[in-house]
A and B are shown apart, each in its own frame.
Chain A
Amino acid sequence: MKQLTPLAQDYIGRFDTALQSLPGHDNPGITALRKSGLETFSKLDFPNHRIEEWRFTNLNALTKGITDDVLAEPIARSEAFDAHIIFTLVNGQIDLGNSVLDNLPEGMRLTSLATELAKGRTELLETEAAENRSVVALNTAFMEDGFVLELDENVKVDAPILIRFVSNGGSPTNARHLRNIVHLGAGAEATLVEEHVSNGGHAYFSNPMTKISLEEGAKLHHYRLQNESKTAFHLSMVDCDIKDGAFYDNFTLSLGARLSRNEISADILGSGATCALNGAYLMRDKQHCDTTTLTRHLVPENDSRQIYKGVLDGESRGIFQGKIHIAEDAQQVAGDQLSKALLLSDRATVACKPELEIYADDVKCSHGATSGELDEDALFYMQSRGIQEDEARKILITAFLTDVIDEIETEAVRTYFAKIATDWLEGV
């Protein structure tokens, strides 16, 4: 048998000890679940480039083992997003001092996974399917904590709910395996804003997994900011089940991490349901950002759409893999996908792999992928009016991002993300 990667060996070696202190350790069901996760992970190891879905993202730098020796300059934080409900996790543990949870509307619960498991709510994890995704299996084995958001039927929460995942240096394993659970009852509505940020330039492995289920007619805006330390690894997964008439939209703004992968898997299980996956990634230096989506239309009459836009500077690399699967009986389905990348340097690269897997015949699908450089003619035109070149470049990059940022329906979030993008541009 092939030798496991050093990091996998490390995880397997310390599993038994870790188990004693992980949430739910006194619950046989959860322990069994973790063990099965570890078993799967031990068989699979971390994904390598021979696995089709991981062809473009090489985890070698992670799997040889992280050392917390690289301290880049701290990330300049944009003015924080102003929210009334805040749930903060620091190094994978809930930080109540920096959370605001006393004003929750009736019918809404926002707690930590560890707390819920301690209460014996093992059903939260019962939907866990047999997994062949090794990073998910690893997360199952080692999940520490996370947030649990539950909305009862028809509960509509207007104010954005902010979840902050903060990483500081100094935790012994430098890894955060987070498991988050979101359940919206029929007709419930919420806006969820996740921030993945760090204080300082520590190297660490951030591995958040979020499981979302939306009952009939529920509506969730899910906005994510990935602004991890520039030396960190970020492998995130979002799994979402969308029932009849429900609406899910996800916007992920990625600008941090040395290597990041943003994996979203949406199952459309109802008619009249809509799934919109959008995002922007802004990369420089040697950053690597992978966006991998799987949208499965499993029943008739629903639609999905995707727009991802990337701005790549330095020697950075962007990956977009988007698969739309339409099951045999899923007639009258529409699926659109667009991926665009703007290359600001000769050494920046992008790889796009759109995939349509269609087994129904009455469907409308489209996909497009483009990459290009800034329009020289437009740059000269602006300069000829007195606008300096760097300013002109910023205007053009902002314009490139405008339509995808406009997909963010919640104004406060749109403004916040636009500001972060503008701040990023100061470094171009």
Chain B
Amino acid sequence: MLEIKDLHAEVGGKEILKGLNLTINAGEIHAIMGPNGAGKSTLSYVLAGRDGYEVTKGSVLYKGQDLLDFSPDERANMGIFLAFQYPVEIPGVASATFFKTAYNAQRKYRGEQEVDAMEFLKLIREKTNELGIKDDMLKRPVNVGFSGGEKKRNEVLQMALLEPDLMLLDETDSGLDIDALKIAADGVNRLRSPERAGLVITHYQRLLDYIVPDFVHVLADGRIVKSGDKSLALELEEKGYTEMSAA
């Protein structure tokens, strides 16, 4: 599904990704761990197509196409979803309106009929019920005044709504209480299927008890320096990155 080869990327003229290789097949969940500043968010932004993240070398194939040729909204419409490490506040835009616009944009892209407000409300209620998220946030402006945890739940809700093929979660677990953590994990697990895949960035082994990954990678200094199965996460938790990198 996703094939990253020798990826080099710069931000603000500084090279952050320095030859990253990673292949994710349909049906797989990969976890990425790594020290602060290693380039994990940078990788997620490069995949989502954020301005200012310049790929200087290497390639990214998504479903066989050159992903870097597409704009951020096209990528989203092709099935990529990024749950942001720092979700953005949008004053003046009601969450429900925003979700509906996004949902309909994706339906339109697929050549499907757009849904009206009533239909949409029914759908979003289903999702909030499934995930046990209170739906009072729907009326509020997107993420404005939300607590850190609420923002993360909001990301999970959007993911549940948009049902992406490739889920990218950037520290969605950070700042979550244990109940919210389960909600987040539930959001991913509900979407898990042989056709879908996921990349979960986290600092905590704890999340991986709920979202059991097929592979765990260590990203340090812009490269994948170690890969393994889920036991790698436990090992990391025990020894820390410094010792692991030295090993």
Contacts and interface: CB of A to CB of B under 8 A. Distances in A.
Interface of A: 375-378, 380-389, 391-392, 395-396, 398-400, 402-403
A386 B105 contact: yes
A386 B88 contact: no
Contacts of B238: none
A383 B91 contact: no
Contacts of B50: 380, 384
B91 A399 contact: yes
Given A381-B88, A384-B82, A376 B51 contact: yes
Contacts of A387: 73, 101-102, 105
A311 to B, nearest CB: 13
A389 B49 CA distance: 13
Contacts of B98: 382, 385, 395
Contacts of B81: 384-385
Given A377-B88, A380-B50, A380-B72, A386 B102 contact: yes
B204 interface: no
A387 B48 CA distance: 13
Contacts of A377: 88
A306 to B, nearest CB: 19
Contacts of B141: 399
A400 B93 CA distance: 9
Contacts of A388: 73, 105
Interface in B216-244: none
Given A381-B88, A399-B141, 7 more contacts: A385-B81, A386-B73, A386-B105, A386-B162, A387-B73, A387-B102, A398-B92
A375 to B, nearest CB: 8
A338 to B, nearest CB: 14
B101 A391 contact: yes
12 contacts: A375-B90, A380-B50, A380-B72, A381-B90, A382-B98, A385-B73, A385-B102, A387-B101, A396-B92, A398-B92, A399-B90, A402-B92
Interface of B: 48-51, 71-73, 75-77, 81-82, 84, 87-93, 98, 101-102, 105-106, 109, 141, 158, 162
A383 B48 CA distance: 9
Sorted from nearest, which 10 A-B pairs have the closest CB atoms? Answer: A399-B92, A385-B102, A386-B76, A383-B72, A381-B88, A383-B73, A386-B106, A386-B105, A399-B93, A386-B77
Contacts of A402: 92
Summarize A's interface: helix, strand, loop or mixed: helix
Given A383-B71, A384-B48, A391 B91 contact: no
A105 B162 CA distance: 55
A403 B94 CA distance: 13
B161 to A, nearest CB: 9
A382 B97 CA distance: 12
A378 B90 contact: yes
A392 B97 CA distance: 12
A377 B90 CA distance: 9
Contacts of B49: 383-384
A388 B75 CA distance: 11
A380 B71 CA distance: 10
A376 B90 CA distance: 11
Contacts of B92: 396, 398-400, 402-403
A376 B52 CA distance: 11
A399 B50 CA distance: 22
Contact of A395 (B71, B93, B109, B162): B93
B101 A395 contact: yes
A378 B109 CA distance: 21
A387 to B, nearest CB: 5
A391 B98 CA distance: 11
Contact of A384 (B72, B89, B91, B109): B72
A15 to B, nearest CB: 51
